[in-house]
Structure 1
Amino acid sequence: MKYALILFISLLPVLVHAQQPDDLVHWNKRHQLSWSDYQGKPEANATAAASTATYLSVEYSFKDGKLGYIITCSFSRSKSWGLHKNDYILAHEQGHFDIAEIFARKLHQRLKEYQFDKKTYQTDLRDIYENTMDDKEEMQNKYDRETNHSINREKQAEWLQRIGSELEKLSGFANY
């Protein structure tokens, strides 16, 4: 028996249909963001130096009681923008993309641990996904709050080190 279930963050289906094929950049440890990736237009009353739009999506399938899935961690060129473009601010924005990757790996870890239950799998998988997204948003907000959107240089340096350590700690789940 084969089951298929696709879950995306609420805006991703709309985003994907509106995007050009080369709009999404998938997270890759060898590719750091550059200001040329930021092609969006800031809102008229924007007060932030920059904005980085990241997305996590997952497609699930079941065959013979085994869970299969594809996780995607992406950055949107058309939804991301920069008003003040320098290397320091870019490093902060890369931090946001790296936090999204942390949670792609955590999602992979949680799904790998999941035991298929024919009666509850839809609810179980939705809960795993939603809890992971809630955790991701909480960390993104904490990152901005504690660094004051990168203004606090000491906290910014601490956070970039913390993000790097977390990516390393979860490196065993990078092969999603």
Structure 2
Amino acid sequence: MDHRIHKSDIGEVFERAGHRIPVEIKGDLEDAAMEFFLQGVNFGDSAEKEIQVRIFELELKEKLNPQSELYEGEIVLGLGFFVIGSFDPVHLLDYSGSIQYQRSGFRMDKVEEVVNRLFQNSLVYFDNWIKNQNLSNRALAKTFRLDIIEQKQESTDDKVYYEPERPLVWDDFKARPRPTSRNNATIFTSFSLEGVSLMDSGAVVQTLEINVYMLPMQSWVKTPSDYGLNHEQRHFDVVRIVADRLIYRLENTELNLDFYQAQINEAYLDSYREMNRLQELYETGTNHGLDQAGQTMWNGWIDEALDGSWERIEELLRR
């Protein structure tokens, strides 16, 4: 693509009679450069990226050296290399080169030779760069891989992480009870999704860490009881179920190399809304724990979902 500000001639040279004449590219510069690059590139079987080359500068300056009676010139070439993807082209690198030359009045072909050499130098420059970058540069990634990890976290006074072998105890509820609340207890539960993208042998590797937790300093109880503790534990279990479903959804979604971040964010927000919806359904279905028959029924549904059987949960969410 010709991105020069002035797109007419590239400069002036001296003819044999000593007169200045403009130097123009035969036809269109974009077409001429495209033809040159296509002739000089062997794509092979590994050409997986479309590269856009922008011509920012092509300028010639020439003068007569009275001592040598030769014409001395310099041609400057400035290019930008971009990779084309699903969005706007991504800048990779720039090339800026120049060649000085001398010629007699009979060697007008010298100018064309130097221009060709400059473009060839830019191609070699880009080829060397991409050979060094194609396995580590994010813009040149060929494939995508998702790694979901759940590391065991140490619970603290400020945050208790979900552990199947470590159910909640009333000591985890450290906030001061709200006297005006009709509830006997309140638990603050949620989950987090954190990640980092790395390059590994030409692939983007997105690592995601999911944590399910409750916040003791925002959770409280008025009158402790085993029945009440089970009700609050089930709130915690609901978040674990949502996190499990999010992991399943992400592992079974075809994540696109260009859109994976948006896809992951969308899945996370959907799961967050699902968590809130399930908590509302649970509270309604148990009347905030006051309906013992409803509590028993939900205990069974939650146990099934923790074991990976989500049919009942999905039926409830469809209502």
Fold-level similarity (TM above 0.5): yes
- Deviations for 1:5-37, whole angstroms, at most 9, x for unmatched residues? xxxxxxxxxxxxxxx953111101111111111
| Higher RCO structure (Cα 8 Å, ≥6 apart) | 1
Residue of structure 1 equivalent to 2:167: 32
Q: Which residue of 2 aligns with 1:47?
A: 182
Give the structure with higher Rg (CA): 2
Cα contact 1:102–1:167 (8 A) shared by 2: yes
Cα distance in 2 for residues equivalent to 1:68 and 1:57: 14
Aligned residue number for residue 116 of structure 1: 255
Aligned to 1:10: none
2-side partners of 1:2 and 1:144: how far apart?
Answer: 46
Instruction: Name structure 2 gaps, 5 residues minimum.
Output: 1-136, 140-154, 310-319
Q: Which runs of 5+ in 1 are unaligned?
A: 4-19, 171-176
If each structure's strand is expressed as a fraction of its own residues, which one has the higher value?
Answer: 2
After superposition, the C-alpha distances for 1:89-144 in whole angstroms (9 at most, x for unaligned) are: 11000000000111111111112123332332232111100001111111110000
Q: Look up the equivalent residue of 1:38 and give its one-letter code.
A: F
Q: Does 1:59 align with 2:194?
A: yes
1:87 aligns with 2:223: no
Of 284, 300, 315, which aligns to 1:161? Answer: 300
Q: Deviations over 1:57-106 (max 9, x none)?
A: 01123332333210000011111101121111110000000001111111
In structure 2, the CA distance between the partners of 1:121 and 1:48, relative to structure 1 (3 Å rule), is same
Deviation at residue 43 of structure 1 after TM alignment: 3.0
How far does residue 46 in structure 1 lie from its aligned partner after superposition? 1.4
Q: Is the 8 A contact 1:55 1:74 kept in 2?
A: yes
| Number of residue-to-residue matches in the alignment | 154
Q: CA RMSD in A?
A: 1.9
CA drift of 1:49 comes to 0.8
- Report the structure, 1 or 2, having the larger helix content: 1
